[in-house]
Each structure stands twice: as structure tokens, then as C-alpha cells.
Amino acid sequence: MFRVSFLFIILGFACISCKSEDKKYTDTSKSNIDALLEARYEKFLDYNLDSLAFARSYSWGEKAIHKRPSKDWTSGFFAGNFWQIYMLTGKEVFKERAKLWTAFIEKEKLNSGTHDMGFKVFCSFGNGLKVEDNQEYKDIIVKSAQTLSTRYNPHIGSIRSWDFNRDKWQFPVIIDNMMNLELLFEATKISGDSTFHNIAVNHANTTLKNHFREDHSTWHVLDYDTISGQVRARVTHQGISDDSAWARGQAWAINGFTSVYRYTKDKKYLNRAIKTANFFINHSTLPEDGIPYWDFSHPNIPDISRDVSAATIVASALVELYQYTQNEAYLNYSKKVVQSLKTNTYILPKTLKIPFILDHSFGDWSKRAEMDEPIVYGDYYFLQTLLRLRDLNK
């Protein structure tokens, strides 16, 4: 639920609430919104450089930034935000800071205890490669792909996601894992080694076969039997229930399968992305402004929190999906989300000195953590959406 009070803002969107503790801006003209974004970007430069303190989220209750080391799955988003702000603004100071934050992540190329290699390494070093041709970055991406490949089980045809809850799960695979395949595809392009490409395709195929319901929504977690290779259970870890449609999970699926189509041009992946995208943008509980509640199936809608991060992940994907389908509904959704997020309901006040842009992302219900807060990946995919829209206009 949006915090505290409700303010009615006539923007052509649904009525949504905002925090009474923040002074929000009433001038929503383009010039003012652009100024607010620029003001938010500058706050990233105020944040101290510290290899153990990647900014992950901001707690309104604690009035504190949650800081994590590079091994956290979100570290690459923070470094990637500096790269993307540089690409949007052209200001060298952001590029120089991006290089420093990215360097802190290099050691993760050897971390085989996680499936989040794509999030950490490709969102940082991969964005760096968009800016400059850097052989060191390429080598780090290939080494990271080799490390990630050690988690692949050819009998199951998937990359193992988590290592915890071993008393409960034999081989858990989460839909989020689709987002780490981009690293593998790029590693093949860089090295010429098709092993990485083949692992990514096999993982996508297994996910395509087992992870989706008849209505084209996705489960969060599938647990596989390590002996038979068959599905043992379909459950959630972050949704409201095992059979619910956790919003960010749907977003990972749409974005992930869109990127797999980019590398393979196999239409079965395109069709999967299309069907789940249609489920998302046409859902009866999706608010008019395009920012979903954190779980489409939650029984307490509309009295629950939105999830800006789910909206930005999908908005970014649908700019790309539009290019493959020419379906105006996808581009219109992306533009609507950007316009919604450029209002003062979602942009943080320019006086707030924290390295985040947007409020109202939703983290992990299972831990009751980061619920309705600024979260780094909400910003990351917002910036990526802005870049993709800019490139599309070019």
C-alpha cells in the first residue's frame, strides 16, 4: 500500500497515493521533470566509493541506505546505473565513477556459488562494453560464463538457481534465471565457444516447457528431481502464493525470453514473450498508469503496494519486443510507464541525498524486506528503457 496519505493528481492516470513525509513537486511540465531527473542523477556522485557498500535500497523506516558487497545479486545494477547515466547525459564524471564501481565486481567472475552472474557481471561490465571496446571486460565476461556453466546440469537441462533450502529443494530453478542467459550468449559471441550458447538455449527450452501456466503466467520456483530430471514441485518464494502471478516474476520471463529471441531468432521464444507480455499488460488488475501491484493475484488489491521495478523491467523489454512485432500496444505501454514514472508521485525529491531515482519498488515478501521502497533494479531498468526509447527514436 502506498504510504500514509492519498493525493489526487490529475495526470490522465489512475489516482495513486504518495508519502506525506515527502514534499512532492506539483510542476509536472517536461522541463521540470527533466530537471528532477538530472537532480536525481547528481545524487549518485554524492555517494562514497566503497567496495563493500553497493547501494541496494533505501529504508523509509530506518532512513538508511541498505549497502551490500559485490557478491550481492544487485551489485551490477548499481555499477550499471552509472554507465547508463553516462550514456544518457554524456557527462564523463559518470563514466569514470562507473569504471571504479565496476572494477569492484571483477572478483565475482570466480564466484560459483550463485546463478546471478548475469545480473552482477553483465549489467556492469556488459554496459561498459557498450561504451568502449575493452578486452579486459570481454575476458571477465567469458570467465564469468565459464563459472556460471559449472551450475548447469545436463540431465535436467537447467542452471541451478539457489543453494539454500537443500532440505526442501533438490534442484531449484527460478524464473529470474532467464535474465542471466544474456551473459552466456555474449560470451559465445566474444570467445567463439558455442558451449555457452548451447547451455543458454537448453535452459531456455527447459523453462519454456515447464515454467508456464495455461494463462501464460509463470510460476516463480520449479524444483527438479536430480535423478529423474522431472519437476518435483512448482512453488513461489516471493509471490503471495504458489499459484499467484508475482509481478516481477512475469517481468523476468518477458524480458528474458525477448533477449533469447534476440540471440537465436527462434520464434518459439518470441511467442513465449508475446503471450506473457499480453498477460501482463492486459491483466484486469493492472492500474491505468501501468504500474502493477506487486502480485497480480493478491486478494487485497487495491490495498497493497505497487512494484515500479516490475513495470520498468517490462517497459524495457517491450521496447525491444515492439521492434520484433511492430505491435504498437507494446511501445505504448513502455511510453506510458515512462510518463507515469516521470511524475512526482514516483520520482524521489531532489533534496533527498540518496543514489536512487524512483520510489515504490517491491522487494521480497518472503523476508518482509524492501517493501515499497527505492530499489536499485527499479532504477536500472528505468534507465535502460530511456536509452532504448532514445535509440528507437534515432
- CA pair distance 300, 294, nearest whole angstrom: 11
Catalytic pick among 22, 27, 72, 116: 116
CA distances from 266 to 32, 261, 306, 358 (A): 43, 6, 34, 35
**Which uninterrupted H or E stretch holds 274?**
helix 267-281
Q: How far apart are CA 176 and CA 182, in angstroms?
A: 12
Phi/psi of residue 278, nearest 5 degrees? -65, -40
C-alpha separations of 333 from 176, 260, 278, 328, 341 in Å: 22, 21, 11, 9, 12
Q: Looking at residue 22, what DSSP letter applies?
A: S
Q: What is the DSSP letter of 231?
A: E
C-alpha cell at 229: 530430471
Radius of gyration of the chain measured on its C-alpha atoms: 20
Write out the H or E segment, with its range, that includes residue 201: helix 194-210
Q: What are phi and psi of 34, to 5 degrees?
A: -60, -40
Beta bridge partners of residue 174, listed in sequence order:
221
Report the half-sphere exposure of 139 (CA within 13 A, side-chain side): 5
- Catalytic, out of 27, 34, 46, 176: 176
The yes-or-no answer on residue 176 being catalytic is yes
- How do strand 64-68 and strand 54-59 relate by DSSP bridges? antiparallel
Q: Tell which residue, 394, 392, 248, has the closest CA to residue 320.
A: 392
Nearest-angstrom CA–CA distance, 141 and 190? 9
Residue with cell 504500474: 291
Q: Measured between alpha carbons, how far apart are the two ends of the chain, in Å?
A: 39
Task: Reduce the DSSP state of residue 98 to 3 states and report it.
Answer: helix
Host H or E run for residue 385: helix 376-393
Query: Strands 64-68 and 172-174: what pairing?
Result: unpaired
- Residue 46 annotated as catalytic: no
Residue 108, all three cell numbers: 565475482
Joined together, the cell numbers standing for residue 148 give 556460471
Catalogue the active-site residues: 116, 176
